[in-house]
Amino acid sequence: MSNIEVIQELYRAFREKDYQAFLEICTEDIEWIQNKGFPGGATYQGASEVIEGVFKANDNNWENFAYHIEEFLDAGNSIVVIGSYTGRNRISGNSMSSAAAHIYDLRDGKVCRFRMFADTKTIWNATAKEV
């Protein structure tokens, strides 16, 4: 499987909540780095921590949370994915759309690091209740 195919499978696993596939795609020591300005943004260590702290947290906080892929860029052992987040905040009811780039580093065909760069202001704006 090519590195791009590995990342395509990762997004499939995320969309379908196939956490077993996600565990198989990642190294045990994966480092998952979200923007500090992103709601819940932090660095997570290990695939199980990513599932709980990122994927399940997104489901708890957002309806129809998704990442829409526009382009994959092959940079050898790194894959860059350009796209945007969408979703509706469960508390405020507000929808959001935010441009974002994901960078995945792979080692021996498995994802060992993720870095996210997103327009976090539009995401935070969606969490605010209107006054």
Residues 26-84: tens digit of each pLDDT:
999 999 999 887 777 889 999 999 998 888 888 888 999 999 999 999 999 999 999 99
pLDDT of 40 reads 75
pLDDT tens across 12-42, in order?
A: 999 999 999 999 999 999 999 998 877 778 8
The CA-based dihedral angle spanning residues 85, 53, 2, 107, taken in that order and rounded to the nearest 10 degrees = 130
pLDDT of 23 reads 95
Domain-wise residue ranges, the chain: 3-127
3-127 in CATH: which number?
3.10.450.50
pLDDT of 130 reads 63
**Separation of alpha carbons 127 and 90, rounded Å:** 8
**pTM (2 decimals)?**
0.90
